[in-house]
Structure 1
Amino acid sequence: MTIGLFIPCYINAIYPNVGVASYKLLKSFGLDVDYPIDQTCCGQPMANAGFESEAEKLAMQFEAKFKAYDYIVGPSASCVAFVRDNYGHLIKQHTCSSAAKVYDLCEFIHDIVKPASLKAKFPHKVSLQNSCHGVRLLHLSSASEINIPYYSKLRDLLSLVEGIEIVEPERADECCGFGGMFAIEENAVSVCMGQDKVKRHLATGAEYIVGADSSCLMHLEGVIKREESPIKTIHIAEILASEL
């Protein structure tokens, strides 16, 4: 199988180590991984702000860059969910293949690769950060409002890491307050939600907040730095690729 590695624009600009870790992790499974060097934004910010025509142009470009691959894999639940759920109607003039074969990094490793072990070591206590897109659109974990048995694909993967201790905060799948445009349009509410989320993570005694969405982690990191809280954020890819 051939894999096109999709690195969202904000990860490329602000958290490049997440992109590097994602590449190393996928390669460690012996997979054929390629990174289209001139890829750009998937169009989510434009579409969420109401500029669908601009998002359509980026969707067409994304489709052209990734159509040759068997799978498209990216370390961002929100961007992957946008491609999967919206490209079908954004790309009106051509058949869209991207939506059917795009996967979040954790989803792909958990559901497709299905590793029995990992070459990873992280001797720290971590608190799971569930992003809204990851939980409710990609089903990376069970949603608390639905009466189904508990599961977490992030916890399953982290359990393969040597030395790690995994905990979850109270109200584990409640929004952190980022929400893209929401953080700009309702900034005061967004900050309060972020502060509440950080407090719940701190209450677990964890050293790190770990999640699959750098956007949510970025929001929490801002709260942590302003309040000088004794906890850090880290993308799950950086832990899973820690020994590579």
Structure 2
Amino acid sequence: MRVALFVTCVNDLLYPDTGRAVVTLLERLGVEVGFPAAQSCCGQPQFNTGYRHATEPLVRDYAAAFAGYDHVVTPSGSCAAMVRDNYPRIAARAAAEGRDEGLAEAAGAAVAKTRELTEFLVDVLGVTDVGAYFPHRVTYHPSCHGLRVLGLGERPRRLLGAVAGLELAELPGAEECCGFGGTFAVKNPDVSTAMGVDKARSAVGTGAQVLCGADNSCLMHLDGILRRQHEPLRTVHLAEILAATRERPYQPVERAGKIR
């Protein structure tokens, strides 16, 4: 089984520890992980902003970069949803306009092998207990793409529930959007911030030390709000929790707010 990491733009530029955590975790489970250097953006920013034609080359690039791999694993429900849900739409539209040029084949290949991290762990590897240790009270925010497009359901919670030392606190209004939404946060900053403030308030109210999610874009939005409010609640990607063990405990990056 040949497995590749699709790290995504946000993680590559801002949260490289999440990508490292995915590799650490999968290697601990006996998976050899490849990292094709040709990978780039999945095209979500372009597509969501209306530049559909500009997205088409990125579909081909994605398929080419991960050719030869059986599975492409990504720590981002948002980017996984872009590939699985929007690549076929992009290819179908191009074909309808007489501009297919192999796009349908590329999209099909990409869709068939792309899995969000928790999907890969639970559905492909068949594991929920990954040998993690994280002695903190944690609350989990399900991002919209993972929840509504990929249908991740209870997979992340099952993985968190099996982590030694972790106390999982229920997040009130968990299925409500945090307000990030990519370009939505740029175009509607006041609404986006208000939604984030509501979500942050709910998270703080759980008494958790850590707000966990499977999308660093959402966590980035909420982390900014929490730091501006001087809350000690930290945001941590699910992969970093699952990669932590007693022998290799989680080492938080120094920033405002510390795990209590």
SS at match of 1:210: strand
Q: Distance in 2 between matches of 1:13 and 1:98?
A: 23
Please list, as runs of the form range in 1=range in 2, the aligned pairs for 1:121-160 lying within 5 A after superposition: 121-141=133-153, 152-160=154-162
State TM-score, norm by structure 2: 0.87
What are the within-5 Å matches in structure 2 for residues 67-106 of structure 1? 67-91=67-91, 92-94=100-102, 95-96=105-106, 97-106=109-118
Change (3 A) 1:182 1:228: same
**Matched position secondary structure for 1:166:** strand
C-alpha separation between the residues in 2 aligned to 1:88 and 1:36? 23
Q: Deviations over 1:92-129 (max 9, x none)?
A: 32212011211000111011111253221100000111
- Residue 230 of structure 1 and its aligned partner are, at CA, apart by 2.0
List aligned pairs for 1:218-233, cutoff 5 A. 218-233=220-235
Give 1:90 shift: 2.8
Aligned with 2:18: secondary structure? helix
Alignment-derived partner of residue 199 in structure 2? 197
Distance 1:63 1:89 in 2: 15
Distance across 1 between alignment mates of 2:149 and 2:222 = 21
Number of equivalenced pairs: 234
Q: Is the contact between residue 121 and residue 128 of structure 2 (CA under 8 Å) also seen in structure 1?
A: no
Q: What are the equivalent positions in structure 2 for 1:8-87 lying under 5 Å apart?
A: 8-87=8-87
Whether the 8 Å contact between 2:83 and 2:110 is mirrored in structure 1 is yes
Question: Which aligned segments of 4 or more residues in structure 1 are displaced greater than 6 angstroms?
Answer: none
CA deviation profile, 1:131-166 (whole Å, cap 9, x unmatched): 00011111112xxxxxxxxxx111100122110000
Contact 2:138 2:169 in 1 (8 A): yes
Aligned amino acid, residue 131 of structure 1: S
* Equivalent position SS for 1:69: coil
Instruction: Say if 2:29 and 2:130, in contact at 8 Å, map to a contact too.
Output: no
Instruction: Give the partner amino acid of 2:164.
Output: E
> Structure 1-normalised TM-score?
0.93
Sequence identity, in percent? Answer: 43
The corresponding residue for 1:238 is 240
Tell me how far apart the structure 2 counterparts of residues 168 and 133 of structure 1 sit (CA, whole Å). 20
- Aligned partner of 1:113 in structure 2 is 125
Does 2:182 align with 1:180? yes
| Structure 1: unaligned runs, 5 residues or longer | 142-151
**Cα separation, 2, equivalents of 1:189 and 1:182:** 9
Work out whether residues 8 and 41 of structure 2, in 8 Å CA contact, stay in contact via their aligned partners in 1: yes
Partners in 1 of 2:32 and 2:166 — Cα distance?
Answer: 29
Aligned-residue offset at 1:70? 0.6
Task: Write out per-residue CA displacement over residues 39-94 of structure 1, whole angstroms, 9 at most, x where no aligned residue.
Answer: 11110000000011111111111111012111111000000000011212434322
CA root-mean-square deviation: 1.1
Cα distance change of structure 1 residues 48 and 163 upon mapping to structure 2, 3 Å threshold: same
